[in-house]
Structure 1
Amino acid sequence: MRRLPLSLLAASMMLAIGTANAATQTTVPAAAVKTAEQLRDKAMNDNTAYDIVTSLTTEVGARLAGSPADQRGRDWAVAKFKALGFDKVYTEEVSYPLWERRSEHAEIVGPFPQTLDLIALGYSAGTPKGGITAEVVRFDSLDALKKADPASVKGKIVYVDVRMERHKDGHDYGMGSAVRVGGPVIASKMGAAGFLLRSAGTDAHSRTPHTGVTGFRDPKEAIPAAALSNPDADQLTRIVAYGKPVSLKLELDCGITGTYHGANVIGEVTGKKHPDQVVAIGGHLDSWDPGTGAIDDGAGVAIAMAAGKLIHDMPQRPDRTIRVIAFANEEMGLWGGRAYADKHGAEVKKFQLGTESDFGARKIWRMSASVKPEARGAIDQIAKVLEPIGVAYDAKAPGGGGSDLSQMHGKGMAALTLTQDGTDYFDYHHTANDTLDKIDPKELAQNVAVYAAFSYMAAQADGDFGSAPGAFKNDGAEE
């Protein structure tokens, strides 16, 4: 056959390679970008999410996992998905230990008798009837506790005094939650009689302690554990500073009483071209019990439901399915997210892209992504649609998928992280002040605009974002 000149052959090969590379790139068609912009703008003036979170926090209220309100919350979610017109509504069972809180009380016996405001932590053991009275030993960090002589701790009430500060991205919570989760376990292994911490929160002047989960999983290893409000922690710290032995009486009526069978609640807008391919979004339906769970995480459920509703109401169904998941019992160990990943992890390749909203209801200001390199162009397109409503794209950071969907990301799901302004989030997080008045309807609507626009663009994309078993292992995203 006739041979091509070398230069022409090279050019032909480069053209072939370029065409092949172009074919593997994931992009969003121009028509879908335009529709996403229209969805974004419509959502910015839509009150659906605020109506949803108002309904949830008013009609159900606090939703402690395993409590009677847990079932009421699930019934509410099923009914709400159906009322919003989702094409398919169903539940998937999630089982977990049933931990119950009944009462808590603490008082300093000496040298200066007085009561303290505190709250029991999830999976804490209860005290014997009549409580326990023991000397307090204070540590200014978790590391200091780890390095302590067990003999200095045995039989005493350990108090870890670490103060969180406000940050837009809320990064101090990593430190605060580590004390709350890990501190009681360490203290128990050292023979402590009980555990207290300064609340993992940033409100300096409110006597509202912040609850949250401990790392206890075996009731036989648990000790009584509770969080002090910041002003009460200040008071205890001042008293300890006198240098005299501080004796404290702690009474907690709480503990694990069995196994509970709850459920994730799921609503779908069925895709018309690829119904088995999924864009996954959601929030967690449970909350802690002192407040009504408005920002943690009624807002997340409302954002995802409202985004799905906006896409559902379009003249045509999206190409891929939009799946909205209201997860069970995130607060005491990601039980809903873990169960979901156990059930669906083997089919991770069908998941186009996903993320969960679980950081309040302030405006989203940052987006990051874990996707295959060939999908970065599509992420750039999504970023350009979100930029006019205040979202900056951090191309260097990974996307973890949020709390529960981090479990699917760990299986290999391509994921975003959409970060709300968390400057004051930890003022209210896990407290009695987590109530509807903390949500601004306009800010909530901006969240819906972000979720609706990105979900639609992902559903319409030509190509995928790289979901595959183990695809993003060790990418540095949150676990």
Structure 2
Amino acid sequence: MKRSALTLLSSALFAGLIGCQQTPVKDAHQEVSQQLQQQALQSTLAFDIVESLTVEVGPRLPGSKQDLMAVKWAEDKLNSLGFDKVYKEPVKVPVWQRGEARARVVSPYPQPIVITALGGSVATPAAGISAPIVQFADLAALEQADRQQVEGKIVFIDHRTPRFKTGKGYGQTVGGRSKGAVAAAKKGAVAIVIRSIGTDHDRMAHTGMMRYQEGVTKIPAAAMSAPDADLLGLMLKRDPHVVLQLHMSPTNLGYATSYNVIAEVTGSSKRDEVVLIGAHLDSWDEGTGAIDDGAGVAIVATAGHLISQLPTKPARTVRVVLYAAEEIGLIGGKTYAREHQQELAKHYIAAESDFGAGRIYQIDFNVAADAFHSVQHLTQSMQANGVAAGNNNASGGPDVSMLPGYGVPVASLRQDGSDYFDYHHTPNDTLDKIDPKALAQNVAAYAQFAYLMAQSDIPLRPVDTSK
């Protein structure tokens, strides 16, 4: 919807509301929530935004030139969307370049293997590494293995990621990616390759961050495509003495400055209180970062824009935060929490969109137990958008997951992630994977959530009875 049409529609709604003297305030808030839903569902703005980001910037690895391009893009875009305030805050990020990654079975069945370096991995020697493979079903099996099984070999963790609507299969297997190199190195392995943490059957590998540990030898770490993991498994059934050759050339380049980019709709009567909706601006470098997390950027930016166009601003400030360097360790989220620690007591609630563009089917909260029923009732207008009431066990999303530790209530707007891990961290993370109608449904949910929270009079934090 064009801005002029949106403004006229909002103005008409506002006139109707103030003209109806008998309408209770709470009912008026529900009417505005419903109107925001309709505006979002009729708008293509969110898809236009993610198209702009993926076409004009593309992949945005933290600390890269494209990362700074994305920061500038975000500032310009948010300013164009009519926010009252747009600014950025510096974030120190490690800089890592992928380089090349090649693998080949040397014997007994010579064949190429599709791999990609895991984020943060060191390189192999220039001549590569050739060593026998030792296979483990999962990280736990590797951790329980005898050193003599592993020493001098390339560890192969062959742990399949199951498909779930909630995406919980990722949590079951991702430990092999993040912790596998340390576990393998402690037992004398020379490298590690894992079955990609994904649910697809495409012959492409899924990247993602891995970790080293101080005092433990750093070994090269890679992921292979699911079909290649199947292939290696079948080879090992025929002959347990499979030799793999790896060539990898990633580089760590120290540190650089990136930025959290922030935009605000200033509250009308409680402007020092904040409703935060966020997403992360960075992405891995294999695809164009469309679903992870261009979609989230578009969702929260558009939701904030719709609220900014209301003829009367909500009571609290709605703050849109586009976080830096989520992919490499929630660095932007941690920096925000640290730098804003003194004002977190004024953060009313926070939520983050970082699970693609699948439709939102449920909203969960993490608020005081005695506030949960009231906040469910307050957000009941979201049910018309297909968003059911959920539980009180929300984490809020990666970059806001540390905020409950500071006492900040959070919400999780649950998306259908059935196919999210088909594309996650792969070259296939591209614009065509986004359904514009599903994206618009997400915008509607976030706009309703943020507006209702900004108008809420429910105390969401537990009452301090110690005073």
TM-score, structure 2 length as denominator?
0.92
For the 8 Å contact 1:179–1:197, the answer to whether it is kept is yes
Q: Which string of whole-angstrom CA distances, capped at 9 and with x for unpartnered residues, describes residues 370-406 of structure 1?
A: 11134224422344111111112123x4111101011
Distance 1:450 1:241, change over 3 A: same
In the alignment, the residues of structure 2 paired with residue 129 and residue 425 of structure 1 have an alpha-carbon distance, to the nearest angstrom, of 36
Q: Which string of whole-angstrom CA distances, capped at 9 and with x for unpartnered residues, describes residues 91-128 of structure 1?
A: 11111221111111111111111110010001111111
Match of 2:311 in 1: 315
Match of 1:436 in 2: 431
Of the three residues 402, 413, 424, the one matched with 2:408 is 413
Out of 347-356 and 383-392, give the one that drifted further.
Answer: 383-392
Write the mapping of 1:4-15 to structure 2, written as runs, cut at 5 A: none
2:350 is paired with a residue whose SS is strand
1:241 is paired with a residue whose SS is helix
Tell me whether 1:146 sits opposite 2:127 in the alignment. no
Match of 1:61 in 2: 58
Tell me whether 1:242 sits opposite 2:234 in the alignment. no
In the alignment, the residues of structure 2 paired with residue 468 and residue 429 of structure 1 have an alpha-carbon distance, to the nearest angstrom, of 41
For the 8 Å contact 1:263–1:328, the answer to whether it is kept is yes
Q: One-letter code of the match for 1:347? A: E
In the alignment, the residues of structure 2 paired with residue 94 and residue 414 of structure 1 have an alpha-carbon distance, to the nearest angstrom, of 24
1:315 is paired with a residue whose SS is coil
For the 8 Å contact 2:186–2:216, the answer to whether it is kept is no
Write the mapping of 1:253-332 to structure 2, written as runs, cut at 5 A: 253-332=249-328
In the alignment, the residues of structure 2 paired with residue 54 and residue 218 of structure 1 have an alpha-carbon distance, to the nearest angstrom, of 41
In the alignment, the residues of structure 1 paired with residue 224 and residue 56 of structure 2 have an alpha-carbon distance, to the nearest angstrom, of 30
Q: One-letter code of the match for 2:76? A: A
* Aligned residues with identical type, % of pairs: 46
CA RMSD of aligned residues (A): 1.7
For the 8 Å contact 1:28–1:460, the answer to whether it is kept is no
Out of 458-467 and 55-64, give the one that drifted further.
Answer: 458-467
In the alignment, the residues of structure 1 paired with residue 222 and residue 215 of structure 2 have an alpha-carbon distance, to the nearest angstrom, of 16
In the alignment, the residues of structure 2 paired with residue 307 and residue 467 of structure 1 have an alpha-carbon distance, to the nearest angstrom, of 28
Of the three residues 189, 212, 217, the one matched with 1:216 is 212
Question: Which 5+ residue runs of structure 1 have no aligned equivalent?
Answer: 1-26, 470-479
Tell me whether 1:183 sits opposite 2:183 in the alignment. no
Q: One-letter code of the match for 1:125? A: V
1:287 is paired with a residue whose SS is coil
In the alignment, the residues of structure 1 paired with residue 91 and residue 360 of structure 2 have an alpha-carbon distance, to the nearest angstrom, of 30
In the alignment, the residues of structure 1 paired with residue 164 and residue 272 of structure 2 have an alpha-carbon distance, to the nearest angstrom, of 40
In the alignment, the residues of structure 2 paired with residue 134 and residue 41 of structure 1 have an alpha-carbon distance, to the nearest angstrom, of 60
For the 8 Å contact 1:412–1:468, the answer to whether it is kept is no
Question: Which 5+ residue runs of structure 2 have no aligned equivalent?
Answer: 1-23
For the 8 Å contact 2:374–2:458, the answer to whether it is kept is no
Distance 1:216 1:349, change over 3 A: same
Tell me whether 1:398 sits opposite 2:393 in the alignment. yes
In the alignment, the residues of structure 2 paired with residue 467 and residue 84 of structure 1 have an alpha-carbon distance, to the nearest angstrom, of 36
Q: One-letter code of the match for 2:329? A: G
In the alignment, the residues of structure 1 paired with residue 91 and residue 311 of structure 2 have an alpha-carbon distance, to the nearest angstrom, of 35
In the alignment, the residues of structure 2 paired with residue 437 and residue 468 of structure 1 have an alpha-carbon distance, to the nearest angstrom, of 47
Write the mapping of 1:329-408 to structure 2, written as runs, cut at 5 A: 329-395=325-391, 397-408=392-403
Distance 1:467 1:256, change over 3 A: farther
2:335 is paired with a residue whose SS is helix
Distance 1:157 1:248, change over 3 A: same
Q: Which string of whole-angstrom CA distances, capped at 9 and with x for unpartnered residues, describes residues 110-168 of structure 1?
A: 11111100100011111111111111100011111010011211121000001112111
Q: One-letter code of the match for 1:273? A: S
Q: CA deviation at 1:218?
A: 5.2
Q: CA deviation at 1:33?
A: 1.6
In the alignment, the residues of structure 2 paired with residue 199 and residue 39 of structure 1 have an alpha-carbon distance, to the nearest angstrom, of 40
Q: CA deviation at 1:456?
A: 0.3
Q: CA deviation at 1:426?
A: 0.4
Distance 1:87 1:219, change over 3 A: farther
Q: One-letter code of the match for 2:173? A: G
Distance 1:217 1:38, change over 3 A: farther
Write the mapping of 1:114-129 to structure 2, written as runs, cut at 5 A: 114-129=111-126
Of the three residues 68, 81, 84, the one matched with 2:81 is 84
Q: CA deviation at 1:219?
A: 9.8
Q: One-letter code of the match for 1:412? A: G
2:86 is paired with a residue whose SS is strand
Q: CA deviation at 1:347?
A: 2.2
For the 8 Å contact 1:45–1:442, the answer to whether it is kept is no
In the alignment, the residues of structure 1 paired with residue 27 and residue 425 of structure 2 have an alpha-carbon distance, to the nearest angstrom, of 43
For the 8 Å contact 2:185–2:216, the answer to whether it is kept is no
In the alignment, the residues of structure 2 paired with residue 171 and residue 28 of structure 1 have an alpha-carbon distance, to the nearest angstrom, of 40
TM-score, structure 1 length as denominator?
0.89
Q: Give the number of equivalent residue pairs.
A: 441
Q: Which string of whole-angstrom CA distances, capped at 9 and with x for unpartnered residues, describes residues 41-100 of structure 1?
A: 211111111111010001000111111100000000000010111111111111122111
Tell me whether 1:230 sits opposite 2:226 in the alignment. yes
Distance 1:137 1:34, change over 3 A: same
In the alignment, the residues of structure 2 paired with residue 221 and residue 276 of structure 1 have an alpha-carbon distance, to the nearest angstrom, of 49
Distance 1:391 1:199, change over 3 A: same
For the 8 Å contact 1:353–1:467, the answer to whether it is kept is no
Out of 294-303 and 239-248, give the one that drifted further.
Answer: 239-248
Of the three residues 22, 37, 41, the one matched with 2:38 is 41
Match of 1:19 in 2: none
Q: CA deviation at 1:217?
A: 6.0
Match of 1:21 in 2: none
In the alignment, the residues of structure 2 paired with residue 354 and residue 467 of structure 1 have an alpha-carbon distance, to the nearest angstrom, of 16
For the 8 Å contact 1:123–1:222, the answer to whether it is kept is no
Distance 1:467 1:429, change over 3 A: farther
Tell me whether 1:133 sits opposite 2:114 in the alignment. no
1:306 is paired with a residue whose SS is helix
1:422 is paired with a residue whose SS is coil
